[in-house]
Amino acid sequence: MIPFRLNGDAAQFDSGDRDTPLLYVLRSPTVGDMTPKLGCGGELCGACRVLVDGEPAYACTLPAGAVEGRHVETAAGLDTPVRRALVDANATQCGHCLPGIVVAAEALFRSNPKPARAEIAAALDSQLCRCGSHPRVLRALVDLGGE
Amino acid sequence: MTPLPHALAATPSLDRWIRLTGDGDVIAFTGKVEIGQGILSALGTIVAEELDVARRRVQVVSAHTGHTPNEGVTAGSMSIETSGAALRQASAWARRLLLQRAAARLGLAADEVTVADGELGGEGVNERLTYWDLADQPFDFEIRHRTPEKAPKAYRLVGHDGQRRIDILAKATGPAFVHDAEAELHARVVRPPSLRHRLTELDLDVAAPGRLVVDGSFVAVAHPVEFEAERLARRVAGHARWRRIGPAPRGVDLDESRREPAAAFPLRNGVPSPTPRRRMATTHRAAYSRPFLMHASIAPSAAVAAWRDGALEIECSSQGIEPLRHVIARVLGIDPDAIEIRHVAGAGCYGHNGADDAALDAALIARALPGQRVLLKWSREDEHGFEPLGPAMHIEMGASLEAGGGIAEWTHDVYGFTHVARPSPRAPGVDLLAARFLAEPFEPTPARPALGAEVGIHRNALPIYSFPNQEVTKHFVANAPVRTSALRGLGAHGNVFAIESFMDELAHAAGKDPADFRRRHLQHDPRATAVLEAVLDLCGGLAGNRGLGLARYKNRQCCAAVVAEVSVDEETARIRIPRLWIAADAGRASSTRTGSPTNWRVVPFRPCRGA
Ligand code: FES
Ligand code: FES
C-alpha cells in the first residue's frame, strides 16, 4: 500500500494504482473522497482541483504515485473561511464546479489573505463554471478579502 | 372561484404533498427537480412560510416515481408557479386542519388558535401543544377546493433576505451527485463514430476480465473498478468495426438551401397557423443567426441502474422522470410500474442534455448484468458528440418607419429546427439515444413543428412592443443535420437577440435614442416600462458604448432589461464586456438579498389586474 495524507489524516492506496490518475484513486471506495470531480479529464476545467503539499494540482492527470508521502487537500477537508463564504453566499448554481473552486480559492487566500478582485479572477481563471456562477463567486470572495 | 393549482387537482391527496415526522420536522414532496436553480430551497421556504414553522424544519423530497406527485418535466421556468402554488395551497390546508384539531383540543374556536414555529396557543392556554402532538392522525384528506392562504404582507420568510440554498454545503463537501453514487459495477458505453454508424465486427473476448454488453450496435463494458472500466472501453473501442449507414451530414449551418423547403406558419393570436404569410412593404431589413449550441455541462452525463427480479431501479438527473419511465419501459418491453426512478442531481442542466439517454444506457447494461448496481458515465467525447444540441436559428427582420420616426410595419421570420425532442410516452418514436442502436431498434420521432403558443422556434418571436402592423412567422425546417432539442429558452434566445438588435438599428435609422424609441412602443405595458426605467436609472443612461436589451420570457413571465457596456480593442478586435446592469421583475421573489450590488435591481412586484 502507498501511504499519503488526506485532509490531515493518514490514507493509503494500492501500489498497483501508482499510474492511475489521482482523481480515480481519491474517489475509489478505498479512499472515498468524492469532492474532486471529473469534468474534462484533461487539465482544462479545474473540476478535479486538489492541493498537494499546499500547491494546486489537477487530480485528473496527476499519477497517484506522485502523492506518496505527501499531503493532499480537497474541498471536503477545507472547513475554512473561503468555503464558508462561498456556501453562505449561495455562490454556485449546480455546484459541480464548486469543490474545485473552493480548492483554488483556498490556495489563493493562504498566500494572499486580502486579494484584489483582479487577483481573485486571475487565480480562478483555470476554474470553469458552465452555469455562469462566476459573478457570485467573485462577489463572495471579494467580500471575504475585504473584511 | 380560483381553481386549484393544476398539480394539486391532479394529485389531491394532502398526504402526497405534506407530512409531519415524529420528531418535529415537516416533509414536503415535489415532482420538480433541482438543477441548480435552487427550486428545492425555494419550495421549502414557501412551505415553512405557509405552515408557520422555522425554515430548518422543512425537508423537501424531490422527484421519485411512486413517492412524489407526478409533476411532469421540470422545464420552462415554471416550478414556482406550478409546484410552488400546489405546495403553498397544500400547506395552507395542512395548517387549517391542524388548527382545527388544536381548537378541539384546547376548547377554542379555530380562528382563536395562534401558531408560531408549529407551537399552538391562544387566550388562556397553558398546555404546550405543537403540530407534532396532533400528527398522530395523518392527513387523510382530499383537497377539493381552495382554502385561504396567508396574506403576502404577513410573510416573514418569502421575499426576505438570507434564505439559503439548502443543498450547497453538501455539494461542496461530499457525495452529492449521481456521479458520486456507490456502485458494484462501473460502466462505459463504446460509441460508434456517429449516429449513422452500426457495428459490423467485435471480438467478444476483448473485454475479459471485465464484462461486455452487446445488443445490436449498443456496446458497453463494466468493471468493479472505475478506471479499469475506462481502460476497457478504450480497448474495446480499438477492436470494434463500424459501417456507415447514411450520408454524413453536409455542413451544419442554416444556409439558404436548408431554409428553402421550410414550412411557414404565420402566428395568429400567438399560435402558428397554416395560413398565407401577409406581405408588407418593409424598407429596413436585417438578418441574425445563432449556430448550434452545446450544453457542454461541466461533467458528462451519468446514471445508476440495478435490475433485480424483473424490476428496475434508476437514479438519474433527468428533468422528467415520469415520462422517461414510460419510454424506457417501452424500449425494454416491460410494465412501466416495474421501473422506479429517483432524481439525483447531475452537473449543470440547461435543457434536454444526455441525462435521459444515460438512464437508458444504464438500464440496458443493468438488465444484461442483473443483480448488480451499475454506475454508467459518459465520457467527455460522448457528451460533446452525442448530446442533443440547441438548434441553429436564422431570423430575418423587416420594418418600415412612419413619418414621426416610430415603427409602422414589422415582420419577423424565424427559421429553424425542432427545439422539442424530449422522450415522451405520447411521441410515436423513442427519443433516447441508445434505442436506435439496438438489435431491435426504435427510431426517434420524426421532427414535427410545435404548434402551441410560445413554444419551440417561435418562443418570444412576438415582440414585447406594440406596432400598428406586424407579421411574425415561424418557418419549420424538418431535417436537422444533427440531433437537436431543448436548450435554455428555446427559440427565445435567437428571437430576442434579433428583436433587440433590430430595435437598435431602427432607432439609429430614425435618429432616436434607443431607450426613447422603445418607450414609445411600450406604452401598453407598465411592467415592462418600469423594468426599462429601472435599468436606465441603475446604469445612469445609455452613454458611450452601451447597448440595451429588454424581454419578458414567453411574453408572460419574468421581465428583464440589461444594459451592456462593450469595448472593442481596435488592434486585436477583441470584444470585452466590462460591465452589465440588470433589472428584473420576476414576480414575487422567494428570496432577496439586502446590500444589493450596484449592478442589479429587483423591480418590486405589484400584482396588477390581468397580470
Ligand atoms: S477534470 Fe481535471 S481539469 Fe478538468
Ligand atoms: S455551478 Fe454548475 S458548473 Fe458551476
Q: For Cα atoms B521, B526, B527, give the angle at the middle one, nearest 5 degrees.
A: 110
Here the CATH number for the domain that contains residue B273 is 3.30.365
B26 located within any domain: yes
Please check whether residues A101 and A134 belong to one and the same domain: yes
Whether A94 sits inside 8 A of B346 (CB atoms) is yes
Give the nearest partner residue to B349 out of A27, A75, A94, using CB atoms. Answer: A94
B53 located within any domain: yes
Interface contact B578, partner A, CB < 8 A: no
| Spatial contact of B178 and A95, defined as CB atoms under 8 Å apart | no
Residue B341: pLDDT over 80 = yes
- Give the separation between CA B561 and CA B527, rounded to whole angstroms: 11
Interface contact A44, partner B, CB < 8 A: no
What is the model's pLDDT at position B160? 84
- Residues in B touching A141 (Cβ below 8 Å): none
Mean pLDDT of B374-390: 97
- Ranges of chain A with pLDDT below 50: none
Which atom of ligand 1 lies nearest, measured to the CA of A39? Answer: 1
Please check whether residues A47 and A88 belong to one and the same domain: no
**B63 half-sphere exposure, CB direction, 13 A CA radius:** 29
Interface contact B347, partner A, CB < 8 A: yes
- Give the separation between CA B158 and CA A7, rounded to whole angstroms: 38
B311-316 and B185-190: which strand pairing? unpaired
What is the model's pLDDT at position B596? 52
Please check whether residues A51 and A114 belong to one and the same domain: no
Angle, helices B39-51/B85-106, rounded to nearest 10 degrees: 30
Band of pLDDT at residue B208, cut at 50, 70 and 90: confident
Here the CATH number for the domain that contains residue B47 is 3.30.365.10
- Residues in A touching B346 (Cβ below 8 Å): 94, 96
Domain boundary, last residue among A43, A74, A105: A74
Query: How many separate domains does chain A show?
Result: 2
Q: Measured between CA atoms, how close is B37 to chain A, in angstroms?
A: 6
Please check whether residues B75 and B52 belong to one and the same domain: yes
Please check whether residues B145 and B267 belong to one and the same domain: no
Ligand 2 neighbour A133 (Cβ under 6 A):
yes
- Residues in B touching A34 (Cβ below 8 Å): 174-176, 180
Please check whether residues A93 and A125 belong to one and the same domain: yes
Ligand 1 neighbour A43 (Cβ under 6 A):
yes
Does the complex come out with an ipTM higher than 0.95?
Answer: yes
Band of pLDDT at residue B607, cut at 50, 70 and 90: low
Please check whether residues B238 and B324 belong to one and the same domain: yes
CB atoms within 10 A of CB B109: 11
Which atom of ligand 2 lies nearest, measured to the CA of A132? Answer: 4
What is the model's pLDDT at position A63? 98
| Spatial contact of A47 and B299, defined as CB atoms under 8 Å apart | yes
Residue B455: pLDDT over 80 = yes
Which-ligand-closest: CA of A41?
1
B427 located within any domain: no
Please check whether residues B107 and B234 belong to one and the same domain: no
Q: Measured between CA atoms, how close is B278 to chain A, in angstroms?
A: 41
Please check whether residues A65 and A91 belong to one and the same domain: no
DSSP code string of chain A? -EEEEETTEEEEE-GGGTTSBHHHHHTSTTT----S--SSSSSSS-TTEEEETTEEEETTTSBGGGGTTSEEE-GGG--SHHHHHHHHTT--SS-SSHHHHHHHHHHHHHH-SS--HHHHHHHTTT---TT--HHHHHHHHHHHHH-
Whether B174 sits inside 8 A of A83 (CB atoms) is no
Please check whether residues A12 and A69 belong to one and the same domain: yes
Query: How many separate domains does chain B show?
Result: 4
Q: Which residues contact B532 (CB under 8 A, 6 or more apart)?
A: B515, B518, B519, B522, B548, B550, B561, B583
Strand order in the sheet with A2-6: A9-13, A2-6, A71-73, A49-52, A55-58
Would you tell me which residues 78-117 of chain A have a C-beta closer than 8 angstroms to some C-beta of chain B?
A: 83, 86-88, 90, 92-99, 102
B21 located within any domain: yes
- The enclosing H or E element of B189 equals strand B185-190
Please check whether residues A69 and A112 belong to one and the same domain: no
- Cα–Cα separations (whole angstroms), residue A39 to A45, A58, A129, B48, B478: 6, 11, 10, 36, 34
CB atoms within 10 A of CB B196: 15
- Give the separation between CA B221 and CA B237, rounded to whole angstroms: 10
Band of pLDDT at residue B258, cut at 50, 70 and 90: confident
Interface contact B179, partner A, CB < 8 A: yes
- Cα–Cα separations (whole angstroms), residue B148 to B15, B45, B152, B551: 19, 18, 12, 33
Residue B257: pLDDT over 90 = no
Q: Which residue has cell 393570436?
A: B269
What is the model's pLDDT at position B608? 45
Ligand 1 neighbour A38 (Cβ under 6 A):
yes
Residue B253: pLDDT over 80 = no
Which atom of ligand 1 lies nearest, measured to the CA of A61? Answer: 2
User: Ligand 2 pocket test: which of A90, A126, A130, A134 has the largest number of ligand atoms within 8 Å of its C-beta?
Assistant: A130
- Residues in A touching B226 (Cβ below 8 Å): 24, 27-28
Please check whether residues B271 and B320 belong to one and the same domain: no
Please check whether residues A33 and A60 belong to one and the same domain: yes
Band of pLDDT at residue B601, cut at 50, 70 and 90: confident
Average pLDDT, chain B: 94
Please check whether residues B333 and B264 belong to one and the same domain: no
Please check whether residues A81 and A135 belong to one and the same domain: yes
Mean pLDDT of B461-487: 96
Which of A96, A136, A142 to mutate to probe the B interface, most B CBs <10 Å? A96
Please check whether residues A86 and A132 belong to one and the same domain: yes
Q: Give tens-digit pLDDT for B111-136.
A: 999 999 999 999 888 888 999 999 77
- Give the separation between CA B299 and CA B296, rounded to whole angstroms: 8
Point out which residues pair with B116 in neighbouring strands: B119
Please check whether residues A68 and A83 belong to one and the same domain: no
Please check whether residues B300 and B274 belong to one and the same domain: no
- Residues in B touching A47 (Cβ below 8 Å): 298-299
Minimum CA distance residue for ligand 2 atom 4 = A129
Whether A87 sits inside 8 A of B177 (CB atoms) is no
Q: Give tens-digit pLDDT for B52-106.
A: 999 999 999 999 999 999 999 999 999 999 999 999 999 999 999 999 999 999 9
Band of pLDDT at residue B28, cut at 50, 70 and 90: very high
Interface contact A31, partner B, CB < 8 A: no
What is the model's pLDDT at position B255? 83
What is the model's pLDDT at position B388? 97
| Spatial contact of B413 and B475, defined as CB atoms under 8 Å apart | yes
Q: Tell me which residue range forms the domain holding A132.
A: 77-146
Here the CATH number for the domain that contains residue A115 is 1.10.150.120
Q: Measured between CA atoms, how close is B449 to chain A, in angstroms?
A: 29
Q: Measured between CA atoms, how close is B130 to chain A, in angstroms?
A: 31
Please check whether residues B275 and B299 belong to one and the same domain: no
Domain boundary, last residue among A51, A74, A97: A74
Which atom of ligand 1 lies nearest, measured to the CA of A59? Answer: 2
Whether B174 sits inside 8 A of A42 (CB atoms) is no
Residue B594: pLDDT over 60 = no
Ligand 2 neighbour A65 (Cβ under 6 A):
no
HEC readout, B505-536: HHHHHHCCCHHHHHHHCCCCCHHHHHHHHHHH
Please check whether residues B215 and B134 belong to one and the same domain: no
Please check whether residues B379 and B460 belong to one and the same domain: no
- Residues in B touching A41 (Cβ below 8 Å): 379-380
Give the nearest partner residue to A87 out of B36, B38, B169, using CB atoms. Answer: B169
Band of pLDDT at residue B605, cut at 50, 70 and 90: low
Which of these, B217, B224, B172, B226, lies nearest to B190 by C-alpha position? Answer: B217
B73 located within any domain: yes
Please check whether residues B109 and B140 belong to one and the same domain: yes
- The enclosing H or E element of B285 equals strand B284-290
Q: What is the pTM of this model?
A: 0.96
Minimum CA distance residue for ligand 2 atom 3 = A129
Please check whether residues B488 and B344 belong to one and the same domain: no
B107 located within any domain: yes
Q: Tell me which residue range forms the domain holding B238.
A: 178-244+295-386
DSSP 8-state secondary structure symbol assigned to residue B131: G
Residue B577: pLDDT over 80 = yes
Here the CATH number for the domain that contains residue A16 is 3.10.20.30
Please check whether residues A38 and A11 belong to one and the same domain: yes
- Give the separation between CA B295 and CA B351, rounded to whole angstroms: 8
Q: Measured between CA atoms, how close is A69 to chain B, in angstroms?
A: 23
- Give the separation between CA B105 and CA B335, rounded to whole angstroms: 48
- Give the separation between CA B139 and CA B14, rounded to whole angstroms: 6
User: Ligand 2 pocket test: which of B167, B171, B179, B298 has the largest number of ligand atoms within 8 Å of its C-beta?
Assistant: B298
Interface contact A38, partner B, CB < 8 A: yes
Q: Give tens-digit pLDDT for B416-441.
A: 999 999 999 999 999 999 999 999 99
B501 located within any domain: no
Domain boundary, last residue among A28, A57, A74: A74
B372 located within any domain: yes
